[in-house]
Amino acid sequence: MTETIDTDTLRAGLRADCASCVGLCCVGLALTRSADFPVDKPAGTPCLNLAADDTCRIHDRLRGEGWRGCTVYDCLGAGQQVTQVSFGGASWRDDDGVGRAMFAALPRMRELHELLWYLADALDRPDAASLRAELARAVAETRAVTMLDGEALLAYDVAPHAARVRALLGRASELVRATAGEPSRARVRAERRGRDLLGAQLAGARLAGALLRGTLLVAADLRGADLRLADLAGADLRDTDLRGADLSGTLYLTQPQLDAAHGDASTRLPSTVQRPGHWT
């Protein structure tokens, strides 16, 4: 019998709860001076804005002070899972060895949580109903890995598991995108260009059902584009112009992707994500 999964509950555990974390992203991640960060910071070194209680001193004014990269990073709940489950409430401040292990565990956990986000999306799709049992098993297997203790998590080879899940997600994507109808010329051209659509002029393009998984869409003009049922898993949407675009029903869209893009009140979004506060 297929397990019934409440996808809303599943997603709730994939939202960052900084109060239950110990500032892992503010310490474990490396920063490079750029338009996103005003300083260089090596991995394992606390950010200069990190307070003793593991909160950010300038959280309410990050963009204004040049820390845009912090506003578009989202651990998808990995930070609190590593802190509270993998390491039982420990802190990187307790011991250097514990800290190094926590920092190494964070990207692994984030990848697992990203897979769970995609699986929740696929489970919600009526057109992928034939895969529901496989998707539910993938959720159970992925959840089991997220519950490992720190030592076991670091010893676990995430790559083969992730490859299997991504293949399943690809099958679900094919079923859903097949309902988008006959591909438009714009969609065919976009898919032929594969992963490189950097700065592409695609305003008003009919891209419904397009396979844009992992595509570089940095600074692309997608104003008014039709992206319904497009597969955007892992697509790079930094500075992508989504004003007036229709992303309703878009597959595998995450909040960090939207936070990195530009949009407005007329941009249509799936109900699973929120309109970023910095959009006009």
Q: What is the pLDDT of residue 134?
A: 98
pTM score of the predicted model: 0.95
Residue 1 in domain:
no
Residue 36 lies in a domain: no
Q: Are residues 81 and 157 in the same domain?
A: yes
Using an 8 Å Cβ cutoff, are 31 and 41 in contact? yes
Domain that holds residue 144: 7-29+73-176
Does 280 share its domain with 185?
A: yes
Is the backbone of residue 105 left (phi > 0), alpha (psi -120 to 50) or beta? alpha
Of 176, 199, 225, the last residue of a domain is 176
**Residues making up the chain, counted from first to last:** 280
What is the number of alpha carbons within 13 Å of residue 144 lying toward its C-beta? 8
CA distances from 143 to 68, 139, 176 (A): 31, 6, 25
Together in a domain, 77 and 123: yes
In this structure, the answer to whether residues 80 and 171 fall within a common structural domain is yes
Burial class (CB in 10 A: 0-12, 13-18, 19+), 66: middle
Same domain, yes or no: 159 and 249: no
Q: Is residue 63 part of a domain?
A: no
Q: In which element (H, E) is residue 228 found?
A: none
Is residue 53 domain-resident?
no
Round to whole Å and give the CA distance between 216 and 166: 19
Q: What pLDDT was estimated at residue 2?
A: 56
**In this predicted structure, what is the pLDDT of residue 192?**
84
147 and 272 assigned to the same domain: no
Whichever domain contains 268, its CATH number is 2.160.20.80
| Domain-terminating residue out of 123, 151, 176 | 176
Residue 166 lies in a domain: yes
In a domain, 280, yes or no: yes
In a shared domain, residues 84 and 172: yes
Nearest by Cα to 141 from 123, 167, 115: 115
Of the chain, the end-to-end C-alpha distance in Å amounts to 47
Phi, psi of 70 (to 5 degrees): -70, -30
pLDDT tens, N- to C-terminus, the chain (280 residues): 556 899 999 999 999 999 999 999 999 999 999 999 999 999 999 999 999 999 999 999 999 999 999 999 999 999 999 999 999 999 999 999 999 999 999 999 999 999 999 999 999 999 999 999 999 999 999 999 999 999 999 999 999 999 999 999 999 999 999 999 999 999 999 998 878 999 999 999 999 999 999 999 999 999 999 999 999 999 999 999 999 999 999 999 999 999 999 999 999 999 999 999 999 8
Check whether residue 109 and residue 148 sit in a common domain: yes
Number of domains forming the structure of the chain: 2
* Confidence at residue 29, expressed as pLDDT on a 0 to 100 scale: 96
Q: Considering the domain boundaries, does residue 141 fall inside one?
A: yes
At which of 128, 161, 176 does a domain end? 176
**Within-domain flag for 270:** yes
Same domain as 225, residue 209:
yes
CA pair distance 232, 214, nearest whole angstrom: 7
Q: Is residue 112 located within the same domain as residue 129?
A: yes
Together in a domain, 21 and 144:
yes
Q: Are residues 102 and 230 in the same domain?
A: no
Please tell me the distance from the alpha carbon of residue 181 to that of residue 183, in angstroms, as a whole number: 6
Q: Phi-psi category of 77—alpha, beta or left, where left has phi over 0 and alpha has psi -120 to 50?
A: left
C-alpha closest to that of 236 among 219, 223, 249, 248: 219
